[in-house]
Amino acid sequence: MTNVNQVNLGRANLTGNASNNRDLYLDLFSGEVFKGFQHNSIARDLVMKRTLKNGKSLQFIYTGRTKADYHTPGEPILGRSDKAPPVAEKTITVDDLLISSAFLYELDETLAHYELRGEISRKIGYALAETYDRKIFRSLTRGARAASPISASGYAEPGGTQIRVGSTGNTSDAFNAANLITAFYDAASALDEKGVSTDGRVAVLNPRQYYELIQAVGTTGLVNRDVQGTALQGGSGVVEIAGIRIYKSMNIPFLGKFGTAYGGTTGVTSPTNVGDFVGVDMPDDEAVTGNNYGSRNNYGADEKFASSCGLIFQKEGAGCVEAIGPQVQVTSNDTSVMYQGDLIVGRLAMGADYLNPAACVELVAGAAVNSGATTGW
């Protein structure tokens, strides 16, 4: 019987080389990782992002305010004697390589009646995106508690802002729609008074806070009436308060955790028979020294975020540098033969830090502002 002529679905350019029978499959997986990252990350496009090549850090320059004076006829104009405007810098370093990996055994893939690679790729992308967002949001929180880097005598520049949501000692104030709306208008006023541009102002809240707000849409007029249904509930910047677009994320520092259990806050009654909730402890994420590997920027000690419950910021509030964008690497050829499967690695090299503290606002609940806010990072 004559052998069939198999269509080489996985081989590039119809090559007969059996060692290349997975070339085209790897391209599909790479796309899945990047989509998984993009769909789960929101912070990347909300701050200043730069690509870093041939170096370990990137410098951002600040220019402060200057003054105007009347001209005296006959006097030459030679610039101000105090050499204004004052200038300062902020350097953001790339953290060490961040990876997420999985080994896929070829026999498992063959026997499974469901598709494995796409699902694994999405989970790898989610893991990278989750860490990416958490670092940026922690940086913005630190910025809200920082003074301006401009410190020239006679040229005071505004620093960050903390706004208390509600006035009691209960963290349940963070979920009160009326309290949140008041805090938003206070934040908008503070940003206006500090000369921060209205372009690119956003807020990121915990999902429960977001849903409390959209339930109040009918009485507060927070959103365009033409926006309804899934667009309204998607948490992707549809709702606005005081010109501030609102997003939701489980990756903001929220009462000392990433995400929270429904009944895990003072003054909140937990529903019954609803199962478990995600309440991920925040690890310390301070800069490593010497020959250690990890974060090269200081993202803060975990206890400093105990009262934090939301962020409002303008895109100049933080910066992010990428040396290696989110990408995937997969073993093949001899390595795949040796282990009878593929090692799949998603990787990323980035770093983040606050830039302009005046553009950062932190919402706090259950405690007064500036409670141990600026020390011990």
Give the mean pLDDT of 178-189.
94
Supply the pLDDT for residue 205: 94
CB 153 within 8 A of CB 354: no
Supply the pLDDT for residue 280: 75
Model pTM? 0.83
Specify the CATH number of the domain 24-64+80-364: 3.90.1690
Supply the pLDDT for residue 52: 86
272 pLDDT above the threshold of 70: no
223 pLDDT above the threshold of 60: no
Higher pLDDT, 238 or 72: 72
Higher pLDDT, 341 or 298: 298
366's tokens: 């259950």
294 pLDDT above the threshold of 80: yes
* Residues whose CB falls within 8 Å of the CB of residue 248, separated by 6 or more in sequence, listed in order: 204, 205, 206, 207, 209, 210, 235
267-296 residues labelled b (16+ CB within 10 A) or e (exposed): bbeeeeeeeeeebeebeebbeeeeeeeebb
pLDDT per position as a tens digit, 29-78: 566 676 778 778 899 989 999 888 888 888 888 777 788 888 889 888 88
346 pLDDT above the threshold of 70: yes
CB 285 within 8 A of CB 135: yes
Percent of the chain at pLDDT > 90 equals 34
| Domain edges within the chain | 24-64+80-364
Give the mean pLDDT of 356-365.
94
Give the mean pLDDT of 230-251.
75
Supply the pLDDT for residue 365: 92
Q: In degrees to the nearest 10, what's the CA dihedral of 70, 72, 73, 78? A: -90
Give the confidence band of 225 by pLDDT, cuts at 50, 70, 90: very low
Supply the pLDDT for residue 82: 77
Length of the chain: 377
